[in-house]
Amino acid sequence: MELEGQWWRGQLAADIHQALRYKELKLPSYKGQSPQLSLRRYFADLIAIVSNRFTLCPSARHLAVYLLDLFMDRYDISIQQLHLVALSCLLLASKFEEKEDSVPKLEQLNSLGCMTNMSLVLTKQNLVHMELLLLETFQWNLCLPTAAHFIEYYLSEAVHETDLHDGWPMICLEKTKLYMAKYADYFLEVSLQDYAFLNYAPSLVAAACVASSRIIFRLSPTWPTRLHRLTAYSWDFLVQCIERLLIAHDNDVKEANKQRGQ
């Protein structure tokens, strides 16, 4: 744990962060003009469910959804084809972000409930053709930063022993860090569910996830100087994105309470 903390505070991590910030300035524009935009949430959730099924890393999941968003934004695609597109995006992202033995196999994808329920069968030829189309669409560049690529770096400074919890000194710093990571991961997944978050830079979304987590966890100050310095985002830049995240959180809490009551 201590060695990991030292790594995130090292010069190499800072250089990688700067390189990612530079790359996000050149991300493709997103217009939100897909004719299938109403189906976007379903397929984003599908990617999340399948990536969890195969225990893929968050960066693979977020890259897959981002590829899907960009591709849908440019093409009019049938619902059946969207299943192929979504799973192809996940395959490409996992090949880019994961080790080879973690990449889902064709027979595993065909055994998924969503495929059998719709009587869909993926073939190697179809997948290869779709992967090539995706790669050509993105000019063979899959190095596209998402909020998941920034979150670990920002979490390295998300909690400090000088922070107050409910106005009192923290009892257990390590336990607080674990809870903070869980909250941040939750808000990161919330940002996948709504294409409105594509209006913000990925690094800003990651910073807002950390800030939202501190608010829910009742840590003060809400946005300390060290996080402002690390992320290069002031509170004013984050407020709008934080509000979206917290509204989604409140809705989830209401829905959970409603289900518990029933």
Are the C-beta atoms of residues 138 and 70 closer than 8 Å to each other?
Answer: yes
Cα-only R_g, the chain: 19
Are the C-beta atoms of residues 114 and 42 closer than 8 Å to each other?
Answer: no
Domains located in the chain, CATH noted: 28-138 (1.10.472.10), 147-261 (1.10.472.10)
Q: Model pTM greater than 0.75?
A: yes
DSSP string, 66-111: HHHHHHHTT----HHHHHHHHHHHHHHHHHHHS-GGGSPPHHHHHT
> What is the spatial distance between Cα 109 and Cα 133, in angstroms, rounded to a whole number?
20
Are the C-beta atoms of residues 231 and 198 closer than 8 Å to each other?
Answer: no
Per-residue pLDDT of the chain (262 residues; tens, 9 = 90+): 444 556 677 788 899 999 999 999 999 989 988 889 999 999 999 999 899 989 999 999 999 999 999 999 999 888 888 988 999 999 999 999 998 888 888 888 777 766 666 667 778 888 889 899 999 999 999 999 999 999 999 999 999 999 998 888 888 888 999 999 999 999 999 999 999 999 999 999 999 999 999 999 999 999 999 999 999 999 999 999 999 999 999 998 888 888 887 7
